[in-house]
Structure 1
Amino acid sequence: MRIRATVAAASGALALSALAVPAAQADGSAPSYRAEAAKVLGSHGKTAFTATAPVGDLDVSFSNFKIASAIAVGTTNRVSTTVTYTLTHGADIDINSDDFDNGPLIYKGSIDAPENVLGGDLPATCTATSSTTASCKGLIDIDPADELSNSDAGTWSGAGLALTSNDGSTVQGGLATTKLQRYSKLTVNASPEPVKKGKTVTVTGLLSRANWDTGKYAGYTVQSVQLQFRKKSSDTYTTVKTVKSDSTGNLKTTTTATVDGYFRYNFAGTSTTSAVKATGDYVDVQ
């Protein structure tokens, strides 16, 4: 579900735009889950996210909301992440009815004025654990080409949505947090190969990350990256030194050749960009 939310300055209402309906339901034979979800959020306006308490006319609430601590998204591939939660509902609600759906959402921005909202293409699946509770699992489906801009990177909040075919609905925000991160890539090359013991090894590389505005990868500049080494006979890397990427994301440093082994760069990540380790490059020391 793609629900990009902007706040209308004049009215303060939550406006939803560019919501795509799945091709399978484009003929209008039945309303799609995500189209119905967009309508629900539009009707609730900003009040949908102003508090952790449920907002709406259905007797439901969400708890135990579990989502990955970070979600890395590239430039083209759709990414889905699983969310689990407990749904508590009134005895009059049949969670297995064709008239009832529910699912997870995540939203970016302040709680009273979300900048973007994302959810699943399909509703969650739930298994009853009592007459009024259920264990549910749903997806957040993310298409970076249509749904994200660079400003979306960072902390998002979790929410739950329930709706019925007769326009009943409830939304509950503030359930959890996750980081939506720009996917990063890292390369390494150590030379010369082979090298004489005691001579200088030059290690180069490139740290890049997804640019959601352009749909391409670009160098991640002025970032601290660790140069690491492991001996041929070892499974453990140790840090040799820390270097910074330059104005185009390139990395370059030197060290002394001592024994056969593998060099790699290791980037710890930031709040907006995923961590990444380069595949080790082997150097034969003679």
Structure 2
Amino acid sequence: MRIRATVATVTGALALSTLAVPAVHAAGDDGLDHREALAKISQAAHRDGGRAPDAGRPYPLNVTFSHFRVTKAIKVGATGRYSTTVTYRLTHGADVDIEAEDFITNPVLYRGSLAAPSSVPLTGVKPATCTANSATVATCTGKIDIYPGSGDLLNSNAGTWKGAATATALNGQDPAGEEFDNTKVGYAEKEDLGTTLVQRASQLTVNASPEPVQKGKTLTVTGRLTLANWETGKYVGYSTQPVELQFRKKSATTYTKVKTVKTNTKGDLKTTVKASLDGYYRFVFKGTTRTTAVNAAGDFVDVK
């Protein structure tokens, strides 16, 4: 059977939490969404901590994971789709057919644990693809697809996420079928394979006026720092944040710091400087673990 697998292979842990499995988003996909059904497989694997005997539990799949590689930070705006590629090594027993149509593996980002995630786990809308390096080792490449504003993220979810990988061998079982038998399904997962930052994207503007200005006169430099609100799908003012005002002479290639200014409660910036040379003014926000760094485009001022 052909399964359009998404991270749902792993998001089965969600069934143990109050979080819902997110809706399918991928444009042009085949319209199938087996994540909720596959979630039951993961839930069964985690039942009683995965230790107590249980006739309804999937059997341990002879698969291990290593060499997990993910970008250091993922910048996520207020709306749209944000994707990053993940690679990892999958090592399997000779009894596991990774080329089977119903063998599914995915990279996952999670918070808490897979058994009891504190946020909706993130994965790709399509399963990872694997290339065999030998009879029992393969290199797999998958994506993490994030849809802010669609239930994937809360604003409080910004920060450090952990990496994991999962594999499910359905062995001909249909998780959406009435006679689905968990015990004929193999399941494997590995947590703590790496970390990345999932950050709220920020935006920054600048305007220096009047333009042109007489030498020695006062320039007023204004701007606004905003960040993505994943829960409303909009950008909102980022309050009480330190932002650098920088200047670059017309003939120079680098900026130098002029002063540090803090945003007000609405994210607005306002300061004054004495005009001396033709050049560009910009604001620079250096970011946090939860929010991306951003530079405003330089605003040129002609000094007479």
Whose strand proportion is higher, 1 or 2?
1
Tell me, in whole angstroms, the C-alpha distance in 1 between the residues paired with 2:12 and 2:200. Answer: 20
Deviations 1:45-100 (A, max 9, x none): 3858xxxxxx9611111111111111111111111111011111112222222131
Q: Which amino acid aligns with 2:61?
A: L
Say if 2:13 and 2:115, in contact at 8 Å, map to a contact too. no
Query: 1:24-173 to 2 correspondence within 5 Å?
Result: 24-26=29-31, 32=34, 34-35=35-36, 37-45=38-46, 47=49, 57-109=60-112, 113-116=116-119, 117-146=121-150, 147-166=152-171, 167-173=185-191
TM-score (norm 2): 0.82
Say if 2:12 and 2:38, in contact at 8 Å, map to a contact too. no
Q: 1:205 to 1:213 in 2, by over 3 A?
A: same
Identity %: 52
Tell me, in whole angstroms, the C-alpha distance in 1 between the residues paired with 2:59 and 2:158. Answer: 29
Give the root-mean-square deviation of aligned CA atoms: 2.4
* Cα deviation, residue 5, structure 1: 8.0
Tell me, in whole angstroms, the C-alpha distance in 2 between the residues paired with 1:223 and 1:284. Answer: 29
Farther off after superposition, 146-155 or 103-112:
103-112
* Cα deviation, residue 272, structure 1: 1.1
Which structure 2 residue ranges, 5 or more long, are not aligned?
Answer: 1-5, 51-57, 172-184
Q: 1:18 to 1:133 in 2, by over 3 A?
A: closer
Tell me, in whole angstroms, the C-alpha distance in 1 between the residues paired with 2:169 and 2:162. Answer: 24
Which structure 1 residue ranges, 5 or more long, are not aligned?
Answer: 49-54
Tell me, in whole angstroms, the C-alpha distance in 1 between the residues paired with 2:272 and 2:59. Answer: 62
Tell me, in whole angstroms, the C-alpha distance in 2 between the residues paired with 1:211 and 1:254. Answer: 30
2:175 aligned partner: none
Say if 1:66 and 1:85, in contact at 8 Å, map to a contact too. yes
Tell me, in whole angstroms, the C-alpha distance in 2 between the residues paired with 1:135 and 1:248. Answer: 48
Q: Which amino acid aligns with 1:150?
A: N
2:223 aligned partner: 205
Say if 1:2 and 1:18, in contact at 8 Å, map to a contact too. no
| 2:290 is equivalent to residue 280 of structure 1 | no
* Cα deviation, residue 14, structure 1: 4.4
Tell me, in whole angstroms, the C-alpha distance in 2 between the residues paired with 1:45 and 1:129. Answer: 31
Q: 1:2 to 1:95 in 2, by over 3 A?
A: closer
Tell me, in whole angstroms, the C-alpha distance in 2 between the residues paired with 1:136 and 1:2. Answer: 14
Query: 1:193-272 to 2 correspondence within 5 Å?
Result: 193-272=211-290
Tell me, in whole angstroms, the C-alpha distance in 2 between the residues paired with 1:176 and 1:273. Answer: 20
Say if 2:12 and 2:41, in contact at 8 Å, map to a contact too. no
* Cα deviation, residue 113, structure 1: 3.3
* Cα deviation, residue 21, structure 1: 4.4
Q: 1:21 to 1:244 in 2, by over 3 A?
A: closer
Q: Which amino acid aligns with 1:163?
A: T
Tell me, in whole angstroms, the C-alpha distance in 1 between the residues paired with 2:59 and 2:194. Answer: 20
Tell me, in whole angstroms, the C-alpha distance in 2 between the residues paired with 1:109 and 1:37. Answer: 20
Say if 1:221 and 1:249, in contact at 8 Å, map to a contact too. yes
2:182 aligned partner: none
TM-score (norm 1): 0.87
Say if 1:21 and 1:35, in contact at 8 Å, map to a contact too. no
Say if 1:5 and 1:14, in contact at 8 Å, map to a contact too. no
Helix, strand or coil for the counterpart of 2:261?
strand
